[in-house]
Amino acid sequence: MENNNPNYVYDNVIQVNEADASRKFLANVFLWMFVALGISAICAYVFANDPSLYAMLRDPETNRSTGLGTIVMFAPLAFILLISFGFNRLSYGVLALLFIAYAVVMGISLSYILFIYTAGSVLSVFITSSLLFGVMAVAGYTTHQDLTKFGSLMIMLLIGIVIASLVNMFMHSSGLDKIISYVGVAVFVGLTAYDVQKLKNIGAGLEYGDASAKKMALMGGLTLYLDFVNLFIMLLRVFGRRR
């Protein structure tokens, strides 16, 4: 059948260009995510296996956090706020340095995991988290269903988790902690699919190579990094075997 639509070729060229730009953008996003995860893993391993370094974070005699340990515990939040609020004002290079510094501090703060949980359970949960994250990332990228409303629900549940966690800091309820962990797994599984779809749509509307596109890719890497790390922590709280 003859096609009389003069925009047919043009529309298809636009769609191909957008798809190509989206793939390149997401490749940059995942590159930032993997670099940050690698840095965090190395830092966590080094501090967990060097008694002198770990003693800087936690007093060996009292087993309580030192002043530096307390700073390291809250520093990741400070970095997140600095990167988020400084996104429009800071240059791409400065944001990149802040992201790397954040990955270092986050890795140091996670070194305690290797003292609380057995190495085998940490490895198995990490593999499980990687597989689950990968499946949901592919689902978010390939689905044609709009996940905006679903993502809004996940964000509301995330806010609920944060509030419940703050409350449980005073209640010390093991039952509530379990509920938070199970809900947290579901939330970060859902957020992974939602965030990947959102980043895919962002990539299709950006000119790859532009400074704003690079900054958006960095922020996307930070978003997926947080999704993965929080999914890993929640799964570890549910399935991890303590020493």
The pLDDT assigned to 211 comes to: 59
Distance CA 134, CA 80 (A): 24
Q: Is residue 147 very low, low, confident or very high in pLDDT (cuts 50, 70, 90)?
A: very high
Range picked from 47-51, 115-119, 172-176, 220-224 for highest mean pLDDT = 220-224
Q: What pTM value is reported for the model?
A: 0.88
The DSSP secondary-structure symbol of 240 reads P
- Residues 42-97 have pLDDT tens digits of 999 999 888 888 888 887 777 778 888 888 888 988 999 999 899 889 999 999 99
φ/ψ of residue 117, rounded to 5: -110, 155
Identify whether the C-beta of residue 214 lies closer than 8 Å to the C-beta of residue 92.
yes
Q: Which residue has the tokens 């890719």?
A: 217
Q: pLDDT at residue 16 above 60?
A: no
pLDDT band at 13 (very low <50, low <70, confident <90, very high): very low
pLDDT score recorded for residue 3:
52
Is 203 in contact with 22 (CB distance < 8 Å)?
Answer: yes
The whole-number pLDDT of residue 206 equals: 63
Q: What is the reported pLDDT for 164?
A: 95
| Rounded CA separation 56/108 (Å) | 11
Q: Residue 112 has what DSSP assignment?
A: G
- Domain borders along the chain are 8-239
Q: Do 233 and 41 form a contact (C-beta atoms < 8 A)?
A: no
pLDDT of residue 95: 95
Q: Which residue has the higher pLDDT, 214 or 209?
A: 214
Looking at residues 20-26, what average pLDDT do you find? 84
Residue 93: what are its φ and ψ, rounded to 5°?
-65, -45
Mean pLDDT over each residue of the chain, to the nearest integer? 88
- Give the mean model confidence (pLDDT) for residues 179-202: 95
**pLDDT value, residue 208:** 52
Q: How far is CA 93 from CA 100, 148, 212, 223, in A?
A: 11, 31, 12, 18
What are the backbone angles phi and psi of residue 120, rounded to the nearest 5°? -65, -45
pLDDT of residue 14: 45
Q: In percent, how much of the chain has pLDDT > 70?
A: 90
More confident residue, 207 or 126: 126
Residue 87 and residue 114: Cα distance in Å, rounded? 33
CB 201 within 8 A of CB 27: no
Q: How far is CA 240 from CA 54, 113, 124, in A?
A: 21, 10, 9
